[in-house]
Amino acid sequence: MSCCGSGAELAALAAPDPREVLLVSRAIAGGLRQTDLSVPDVHCGACIRTVEKALGALDGVTWARVNLSTKRVTIKWRADRVPPPFVETLGNVGYEAHLFDVDGDAKDTTLSELIRALAVSGFAASNIMLLSVSVWSGAEPATRDLFHGISALIALPTLIYSGRVFFRSAWQALRHGRTNMDVPISLGVLLAFGMSLYETAIHGPHAYFDASVTLLFFLLIGRTLDHMMRERARVAVRGLARLAARGALVLQNDGAQTYLPVGEITPGMTIMLAAGERVPVDSQVAKGLSELDVSLVTGESVPQPALPGSVLRAGTLNLTGPLTITATASANDSFLAEMLRMMEAAEQGRSVYRRIADRAAGLYAPVVHLTAAITLVGWLIVSGDVHRAITIAVAVLIITCPCALGLAVPMVQVVAARRLFECGIMIKDGGALERLAEVDTVVFDKTGTLTLGNPRVIDAEKIDSATLTLAGAIAVHSRHPYSCALAAAVRAQAPIALDDVSEHPGCGMEARLGGSVLRLGRPEWALADTRGMDLDGSSVVLSRDGRCLADFRFEDRLRAGAAETVDALKRDGLAVEVVSGDREMPVRALASGMGVPYFAGVLPGGKAAHVVELAAAGKKVLMVGDGLNDTPALMAAHASMAPASAADVGRNAADLVFLREDLSAVSQAIVVSREAGHLVRQNLALAVGYNLVAVPIAIMGHVTPLVAAIAMSGSSIVVVANALRLRGRGKLDKPQDASASTPRMSVRMEPAE
């Protein structure tokens, strides 16, 4: 909606204390902090440019981006400075702003106002049109003047009530020395009404009360549809917000339990999580056994076990038993908050198409005003008829409204982001859709991307239960993947009293039991004598005083849909490679089975260098990876994807994040991005074609203000309807359950990645 009140008033009333701004902002990389503001008055490309330009000019601000769907502006500023006066600055350019807070249950007052205004204008337009029909049918002058007077009485309050949606915005823009799309709209409506009022006063034969009110009606239809479309994009964000716990029971140092709001929970706090409660922030299990519904993270419906040491994501549901957990992140830095930010950022990217549309919309107001002025002067010279010249100029003002152009790109990006979200794929930047559609090479990481990255003990049921239990008792003290696999293999672990448990990085775990020394780790370290041992096949051994008690081997499994996805990408003409930091043998086994080239033992810098080399060769690379060592390559690639299980840094670096285990998300995202690109180009062509056809016709005087209103609104509706086609183009394949017939790849696991 639009602003109300002067900039000085807004700045004085709404400005928060700098300490409050500092409190709600969060630290990000590069010595910066990020602050989010709600700016409810932005509604068009001109508003976006004004807000971003005003904030970008502040000392210390390095980046400002408006999200039109959520009416939110994200600002990055230098952490070593005092918080800049964000709210005061926006108030000075005519935009009310306040600190952003996600409220999933907030009532949509904007939609209510639009619907009321639409209803009033529709009722008035229908009644005025009935009176106009009587005039057109040949009413006597006295009757005609009476009907014109009644139409004026209906139109005036309608314009005051329903037109304020546009008038307020136009007035605020003009008083701050700028223009927006609502300025020529308001000018056209008021000119049509004023001209009609003059004709009525002098008993003229023509009046256009029907055109002014019907124009409002059609404009409000377009504005309401636009708002509802964006509201549909916000539904997913609000749905996620509802998954966030409002607070949690925190264990204090003195043993007391205190319920704290989720915003007050800090890393290191101990939380008592009852069965049936959602995890409030990213945490780690300290004590207790339970099962979790992690469908939010992985998309899988099968409950996952929660054991001491298990990592929990915010928003997941504790199902069966109470847990004592330790917070590892604050609410703003947790997984659920990150998902919210990614969904809200889907429209923030300044893509190539978006920049084209924004530049065109930026030229709109002066070009339209100049065109209308030239039309007015031209018709005055040609015909000498003031009434006709003004009528044609008003029609030009109305018909050239760039609503269709302004909706051409964001509507497609919003629909595409929603479609991807429904398939478990989060997009962080609308511009990523364009880059993804252009890729011709896909580079996959191995561990955690093509494979699950969760080793399992081979034939655990054939291992002596006492030995397996002993190994599990040692392994539970480590977070190494092999230790986790051993601990998970022990179903009913009897307590074993171990002494002096310690971990030797790169070697394994050591403990004492009675007078014996137990070691669980590499054979070269755990055994006194490795002669006769098959070191290539033995990943981990359990030894007592240097003698081997058990030899454990591990397997990794291909991620569900990995082989099918690689085949689909190759069929579509994309080059596929595997670049991994793992050892030669497992990488070769995987890549040869898929029929793709591979590079093994690659360090993080080498991965990024390889992506840069491909780019230098003219390739547009999609990098798919999950680990910290993939982050440089993700940032260097033309486009990037990561699974939700990826490291935090990897998820932040990626353009898209897929929540489900199935790797088919990669090919699905490429399909949607290419479809979205086609629709964007179609929308831009429709918007430009409309103006190329409609404007000359209006200038030549063949369009009345009423017809101009219908044509302008019709073009916007066509663009929105075309964008909605993206949701109806077939259904993306549903991810398969990873537990069902997933191809296995039994290899020696190495901790290289």
Annotation says 445 is catalytic: yes
Yes or no: domain 406-452+557-753 corresponds to CATH 3.40.50.1000: yes
pLDDT for residue 295: 59
For residues 730 and 690, the model is more confident at 690
Angle at which helices 403-422 and 352-383 pack, to 10 degrees?
160
pLDDT average, residue stretch 75-97: 85
Positions of CATH 3.40.1110.10 in the chain: 459-552
Of the spans 185-194, 491-500, 575-584, 693-702, which averages the highest pLDDT? 693-702
For the segment 263-282, what is each residue's pLDDT rounded down to a tens digit?
788 899 999 998 888 899 98
For the segment 179-213, what is each residue's pLDDT rounded down to a tens digit?
666 777 788 788 878 888 888 888 877 777 887 78
pLDDT for residue 431: 72
In the CATH scheme, what architecture does the domain 459-552 have?
A: 3-Layer(aba) Sandwich (3.40)
Position of tokens 């939609």? 111
Rounded-to-10 torsion of CA 586, 589, 591, 595: 180
pLDDT for residue 9: 45
CA neighbours closer than 13 Å in the CB half-sphere of residue 673: 27
The DSSP 8-state label assigned to residue 83 in this structure reads: P
Position of tokens 């074609």? 689
With 50 as the cut, is the pLDDT of residue 537 above it? no
Give how far Cα 320 sits from Cα of 121, 172, 339, 406, Å: 56, 57, 26, 51
Positions of CATH 3.40.50.1000 in the chain: 406-452+557-753
With 70 as the cut, is the pLDDT of residue 752 above it? no
pLDDT for residue 94: 82
CA distance between the termini of the chain: 50
* One-character DSSP codes across 622-673: EEE--SGGGHHHHHHSSEEEEETTS-HHHHHH-SEEE-SS-TTHHHHHHHHH
The CATH number corresponding to 7-99 among 3.40.640.10, 3.30.70.100, 3.40.50.300, 3.30.70.270 equals 3.30.70.100
Position of tokens 């080793």? 455
For the segment 215-241, what is each residue's pLDDT rounded down to a tens digit?
788 778 767 766 665 565 455 455 556
Catalytic residue among 445, 556, 582, 626: 445
Positions of CATH 2.70.150.10 in the chain: 247-336
C-alpha to C-alpha distance for 323 and 288, rounded to whole angstroms: 5
- Overall fold of domain 247-336: 2.70.150
C-alpha to C-alpha distance for 475 and 363, rounded to whole angstroms: 66
With 60 as the cut, is the pLDDT of residue 753 above it? no
Q: Which helix (H) or strand (E) holds 417?
A: helix 403-422
Q: Residue 216: which region, alpha, beta or left (left: phi > 0; alpha: psi -120 to 50)?
A: alpha
Positions of CATH 3.30.70.100 in the chain: 7-99
Least confident span in 86-95, 353-362, 430-439, 459-468:
353-362
Position of tokens 């609308």? 430
